[in-house]
Amino acid sequence: MIETHTATPKKAMRGSLELVGKIVTSCSESKGSDVVVLELDPSGSVADYFIIVSGRSDRQVQGISNRIVEDLSQSGLKPYSVEGMEQGHWVILDFGDAIVHVFYGPDRDRYDLEGLWTRAGRYVVDESADGVRLRAA
């Protein structure tokens, strides 16, 4: 079971980009696919970033989500809330500055968050032997 808290994140994370980097690395290491980072308008958004990732099955969606939570907990962070873990079709992990959407592939297409946030800055993930890097899309 995933625990949540409402305390301010520890100083282990120095800003939203470091948080995003850790999330993206967890997605990559757990074999998440089509990782996209949306940089939201900070003046009117609930978060600075959305990280959207797909899994090939409900079990993989749950596995990706659990990996993100476990990896970030090692830095002293727990999600403020977790939704959808039991069904494994659309899991939402709220880390404050970054909200992670882990989708089962067909559900990602159906809800099309990237299409709803067309004005957001968009970054895609490049994976190489040197690690994971974000680049503007």
For 61-90, give one letter per residue: b (16+ CB within 10 A) or e: bbbbbbbbbebbeeeebbbeebebbeebbb
pLDDT for the residue 11: 37
Question: CA angle, corner 52, sides to 1 and 136, nearest 5?
Answer: 145
Q: Under a CB-based contact definition with an 8 Å cutoff, are residues 80 and 6 in contact?
A: yes
Nearest to 40 by CA among 111, 117, 94: 117
- Output the pLDDT for position 42: 66
For the chain (length 137 residues), average pLDDT per consecutive 10? Answer: 37 66 94 93 79 97 98 95 96 96 95 91 80 76
Q: Please, what are the domains in the chain? A: 16-130+132-136 (3.30.460.10)
Report pLDDT for 46: 82
DSSP one-letter string for the chain: ------SPPPTTS-SHHHHHHHHHHHHHHTT-EEEEEEE--TTT-S-SEEEEEEESSHHHHHHHHHHHHHHHHTTT---SEEESTTT-SEEEEE-SSEEEEEEEHHHHHHH-HHHHTTTSEEEEEEEETTEEEEEE-
Specify the pLDDT at position 126: 80
Query: What are the distances in angstroms from CA 19 to CA 51, 116, 118?
Result: 11, 23, 23
- Determine the pLDDT at residue 129: 66
Q: How far apart are CA 58 and CA 72, in angstroms?
A: 21
